Amino acid sequence: MGPVVNVAFPVFAIMLLGYAAGRTGILGQESSRALNAFVYWFALPPLLFLSVARVPTAEILNWPYISVFGGGMLVTFVVALIIAFALMRRTNAERFLHSFAAAFPNTGYMGIPLFISAYGPSGTLPAIIATVINAALGVGLVVLLIELDMHRSAGSVQTLRRVGGALVRNPLVLAPALGLLWSGLGLPLPRWIGNLGDLLGAAAGPCALFAMGLFLVDRPMSAGRAEVGWVVFLKLVVNPAAAWGLAIWFGLGPELTRGAVLLSALPTGALVFVVAERYGVYEQRSSAIIMISTVLSVVTVSGLLAFFV
């Protein structure tokens, strides 16, 4: 349990510090919005760009592993979406974010540190590939769906034009796409770009988590307990189970199977809240899901780590 606690506790503690800052009046709700704007426009894009650009495309394009990890996310997303349409009186954007929260693991802020702690630097490749998949595909898919929902009242051609323009201008879509292009062309990464990106990217996780804690002030955690509960169950149980089943189906090797299952079992990533706050939907639910899944993952992920020893 030690490696998981060492990684999960700082994540949870930063959220608590943000909550304490808001509860004591040191910072107000406007600070949460400002921090999220900084993360969305200035900190996350260089982090996403560098996480993709620094990995050779030959290492990224491990199709059996991508099929297992990405397929587990997709299965969980679809299950959550079916539940959302069947049981929730919500807007489509809220349903998409509900499903995104069930399927988007915290591979960047928790996965890579956890794998370094448990398996050493040489064992981090599955976490790096998973982070690239999240950045390049997971975020892009949910942003695309939300943008399509926002512009659905226009004609089909106008809708496609508006959505295409929105995606091109979206930094969370543009950054990993540029990273893939940079990696594919084999271009050297200037040191000053890497250093600048590392400095800005290092602020993304703490700022997003701190803003989440601030946002929770005066918002009851008990609201929507059933919904939060089933999303957390989907994230911590169904997502890794789906990845495990697909790993058996594809005949994935033991090391990659372990990586896909453990990473799928991680709690919901903070980026879900960043996207939710950006579009002004599902903020309270996503923040509660992230906090509760982070706490419970100490038990579930520790169990899986012990199993895979």
Q: How far apart are the first and last CA of the chain?
A: 12
Indicate the residue type of 26: I
Residue 196: its pLDDT value, please? 96
% the chain with pLDDT above 90:
40
pTM for the full predicted model: 0.85
Residue 175: which pLDDT band, with cuts at 50, 70 and 90? confident
pLDDT tens for residues 210-254? 988 888 887 766 667 889 999 999 999 999 999 999 999 999 999
Work out the mean pLDDT of the chain and round it to a whole number: 87
- Euclidean distance between CA atoms 197 and 97, whole angstroms: 27
Residue 114: which pLDDT band, with cuts at 50, 70 and 90? confident
Partners of 268 in the β-ladder = 105
Tell me phi and psi for residue 105, to 5 degrees. -80, 155
Domains, the chain, in order of start with CATH, read: 2-307 (1.20.1530.20)
pLDDT tens for residues 24-38? 999 988 898 899 889
Going by C-alpha positions, the residue among 227, 224, 233, 228 that lies closest to residue 87 is 227
Going by C-alpha positions, the residue among 295, 277, 280 that lies closest to residue 221 is 295
Residue 131: which pLDDT band, with cuts at 50, 70 and 90? confident
Residue 252: its pLDDT value, please? 93
Residue 165: its pLDDT value, please? 67
pLDDT of 79 > 90? The answer is yes
Give the residue with greater pLDDT, 59 vs 165: 59
